[in-house]
Amino acid sequence: MIRPTLPFVNRRSLLKAGLAATAAGLCRAVSAETPPLLPRATSGDRIEPLWSDRLTISVGRGKADIVGADHRAVQAAVDYVAALGGGTVRLLPGEYCMRNAVYLRSKVRLVGAGDATVLVKEPSTTTKLVADSDWYDQEITLALPLADDRGFRVGDGVCLLAKNPHNGSRTVVKRTLVARNGNRFKLDRALRENLWLAGDASVATLFPILSGENVADIAIENLTLDGNRANNDNLDGNYAGCVFLQDCNAVAMRNLTARNYNGDGISWQICHDVVVENCRSHGHAGLGLHPGSGSQRTVMRGNTLSHNAIGIFFCWGVRSGVAEGNVIEDNSQLGISVGHRDTDNLIRNNTIRRSGQTGILFRPEPGPGYAPHRNRVEGNRIENSGADAGAAIDVQGPCEGLALTGNTLVETRGPARRVGIRIAKEVRGIALAGNRFEGFSQQVQDLRK
């Protein structure tokens, strides 16, 4: 399994771990027995010497390099470290109030003090637009902002919502307010969408707590991220979450607590070589972990995912991923969901308890070209899934090459009409071996027969 490249590894450790695609040729040319190299820092070379001292900047309410306790202080530290080629931003214990996302930069490690470092999203405010803005505009006009602290301010992160005037679809644009005259605000970037009153256009102070776009070699560790769900409107995981990443590479997230976001916990879209280890993601309106469209070689290991709608949602074209050793419990819909072109993934040794509908679902798809093929589900323990007619594992759609082996499926609430494994008539290829069943009315319900 290819693992993310962190910004602080030397040439030998990189070779031994087989991390970066850029080092693949080097791995073939130099064996593991080759004596350690003494590399020099060379322009354009992603493989760095193991420097004994790298830049570390601390942020906190006092006795810190940057004194502050909001998104501005954290962003200043991240930008400063990135400008000097990378390093560590250390968030000291305390509560940090977030009126905008912290935008992550390449080769920056963001680390806190675990439960003692808490980033809390401020309550959201929503208002209507009172003037049309066209796709080339870089400003919006708001209905009069609220007079209290929940109003709109320069520096706030915002999300603009409207119905597309051309096809009726939903338009979602994330921006930052950077200047103001009365109720007219300038945005950090042009809209590139039409926000018209005819489409019921509105603006809300909604954003991810941590956000990364087109960045690489980053680490996020030992932080608590609180979405303040009770005081925020919903923004789904295609746009936000406690952590939201888009078009990123080589990301490590370890020992995070992501809680109470009115949307997803941790979401990454078209991101490759992402590792999520020993994190806790709970209390979200959406998904605990959301490996999103096109993401390759994700590793999700040792996490606890509870009281969400879905624990892990393999989205669209998620391939060669691993979900291993996670505890997934008390999610209102599903423990794990796999669907559209999610192929060649391994779901192993997870414990899935008390899912509202199904423990593991392979979603229905319109044809074999869209189905989740060649996935392996092995060694999992799935307990008490769904209602009276629920299934521990429900396989729908025309998938091929699916293997379910060595799983323990348990039902302690009485058999009712519950089944261990349900196989829809559209399924084209599935192998069952060594699964153990307890307490079901039917161990395997094969609707192909």
307-333 average pLDDT score: 98
pLDDT at 13 over 70: no
What tens digit of pLDDT does each residue of 348-389 get?
Answer: 999 999 999 999 999 999 999 999 999 999 999 999 999 999
What tens digit of pLDDT does each residue of 208-221 get?
Answer: 999 999 999 999 99
Taking the C-alpha atoms of residue 442 and residue 449, their distance in angstroms, rounded to an integer, is 15
Q: What does the pLDDT read at residue 36?
A: 57
Answer whether 56-120+208-446 and 126-204 agree in fold.
no
Q: What does the pLDDT read at residue 146?
A: 62
227-241 average pLDDT score: 96
81-89 average pLDDT score: 96
pLDDT at 145 over 80: no
Q: What does the pLDDT read at residue 49?
A: 85
Q: Where are the beta strands (DSSP E) in 299-363?
A: 299-301, 304-306, 310-313, 322-324, 327-329, 334-338, 346-348, 351-353, 358-362
Q: What does the pLDDT read at residue 288?
A: 98
pLDDT at 21 over 70: no
| CA 433 to the chain's CA centroid | 32
Tell me which CATH code domain 126-204 carries: 2.40.30
Give percent above pLDDT 70 in the chain. 90
> Domains of the chain: which residue ranges?
1-53, 56-120+208-446, 126-204
Q: What does the pLDDT read at residue 26?
A: 32
- Which of the four pLDDT bands, split at 50, 70 and 90, describes residue 52? confident
CATH fold for the domain made of 56-120+208-446: Pectate Lyase C-like (2.160.20)
Find residue 327's DSSP bridge partners.
304, 351
What tens digit of pLDDT does each residue of 111-124 get?
Answer: 999 999 999 999 99
Q: What does the pLDDT read at residue 48?
A: 81
Q: Which helix (H) or strand (E) holds 76?
A: helix 71-83
CB 281 within 8 A of CB 253: no
Taking the C-alpha atoms of residue 229 and residue 123, their distance in angstroms, rounded to an integer, is 9
pLDDT at 241 over 90: yes
- Which of the four pLDDT bands, split at 50, 70 and 90, describes residue 4? very low
| Residue with more model confidence, 230 or 8 | 230
Q: Which helix (H) or strand (E) holds 25?
A: helix 24-29
